[in-house]
Amino acid sequence: MEERKRYSGKVDIGLKSPKYLVELAKVDKHFGSNHVLKGVSLRVKPGEVCSIIGPSGAGKSTLLRCVNLLESPDSGNMVVAGQYVDLARPLDKRSLLQLRRNVGMVFQSFNLFPHLSVLENISLPQRRVLGRSAEDAKAKSLELLERVGLADKAESFPSKISGGQQQRVAIARALALEPKAMLFDEPTSALDPELAQEVLGVMKEVAASGMTMLVVTHEMNFARNVGNHLVVMENGSIIEEGDPEQIMTEPKLERTKQFLSAVINH
């Protein structure tokens, strides 16, 4: 019990100026007998845009979902925004909420609250999670809607706007909690190319504002032009990692070359 308390919550682990905002060490995860993450380690610096690519089934989304513990890994360690988490132990509720407060997430299927207006979608979490007043939340929501170019949709319901617009609202909703890092789980995969571009435009702007981002994506242009850290995964492991430009022009592994030529010619 004492042991568990010591490891949960905000712990000073001696990092005076934390070099990494997200640090995963030896993350292991099974789905039944399927070994989906095989001791994955990953470090993301503050302000970095880390794109995670690879064939489907490689474990990219699972890895991303471990960062905010939507998936519970079997073992490993993690430090997110200064919060240390021993992944082999169950995390207490307070620490879990604290972790998630620091990390925003954007999903492939947008996942807006269908019974709430666009404005309420962005305001509700601010009020419940940050305790903002109704007026403060509304002001913040409107400011973010302006930023993602949807100020005129504040009163619309999610089912009445396009997928690209829904995804931009979802980004605004996550940003409203002022997270220290943002996770994007294939944010444009459900969108046709034109709508995908408007979402990528917003993501580019978010990146330019200095946000630390982990992005699971098939958008090679985004990974190359906006990203500054590229991770290639296959079969539950990171097989290649580094500068996007370099990996895309001169991949070290034959497998990476194969994958890149498949997606780029696609």
Partner 1 sequence: MNTVEFWASRFLEMLGGLGVSLQLTVGALVMGIPLGLLLALGLLGKSKIVYYLCLALVEVGRGAPALVVLYVVYYGLPILSLRPEAMVCAYIGLTYTTAAYTSEYIRGGLKAVSPGSIEAAHALAMPQLDVLRFVLIPQGLRVAIPSLMGFAIQIFQATSLTYSITVREVTAISYSIGSNTFRYLEIFALAGILYAVITIPATWLTNKVEARLALRH
Residues 117-136 that bind partner 1 (CB under 8 A): 124-125, 128-129
Which segment (75-83, 93-101, 209-217, 250-258) binds partner 1 by CB under 8 A?
93-101
Interface with partner 1, residue 101, by CB under 8 A: yes
Interface with partner 1, residue 112, by CB under 8 A: yes
Shortest spacing between CB 96 and partner 1, in angstroms: 8
Interface with partner 1, residue 93, by CB under 8 A: yes
Interface with partner 1, residue 84, by CB under 8 A: no
Taking the C-alpha atoms of residue 72 and residue 65, their distance in angstroms, rounded to an integer, is: 8
Taking the C-alpha atoms of residue 158 and residue 156, their distance in angstroms, rounded to an integer, is: 7
Residue 183, strand partner residues: 105, 214
Task: State which H helix or E strand residue 122 sits in.
Answer: helix 118-125
**Interface with partner 1 (CB under 8 A), residue from 24, 36, 95, 107:** 107
Q: In the structure encoding, which two tokens stand for residue 174, read together?
A: 């996550």
Which segment (15-23, 30-38, 97-105, 236-244) binds partner 1 by CB under 8 A?
97-105
Taking the C-alpha atoms of residue 165 and residue 168, their distance in angstroms, rounded to an integer, is: 5
Shortest spacing between CB 10 and partner 1, in angstroms: 15
Interface with partner 1, residue 68, by CB under 8 A: yes
Interface with partner 1, residue 20, by CB under 8 A: no
Q: Regarding beta strands 75-80 and 212-216, do their DSSP bridges make them parallel or antiparallel, or are they unpaired?
A: unpaired
Which segment (5-13, 38-46, 166-174, 232-240) binds partner 1 by CB under 8 A?
166-174
Taking the C-alpha atoms of residue 143 and residue 117, their distance in angstroms, rounded to an integer, is: 16
Instruction: Decide if 96 contacts 69 (C-beta within 8 A).
Output: yes
Interface with partner 1, residue 259, by CB under 8 A: no
SS3 107: coil
**Which residue, 105, 92, 78, is CA-closest to 21?**
78
SS3 162: coil
**Interface with partner 1 (CB under 8 A), residue from 154, 173, 196, 251:** 173
**Interface with partner 1 (CB under 8 A), residue from 5, 31, 88, 109:** 109
Shortest spacing between CB 2 and partner 1, in angstroms: 25
Taking the C-alpha atoms of residue 250 and residue 140, their distance in angstroms, rounded to an integer, is: 44
**Which residue, 4, 5, 59, 48, is CA-closest to 23?**
48
Interface with partner 1, residue 7, by CB under 8 A: no
- Contacts with partner 1 by CB under 8 A lie at 68, 70, 93, 97-98, 100-101, 103-105, 107, 109-115, 124-125, 128-129, 157, 159, 170, 173-174, 177
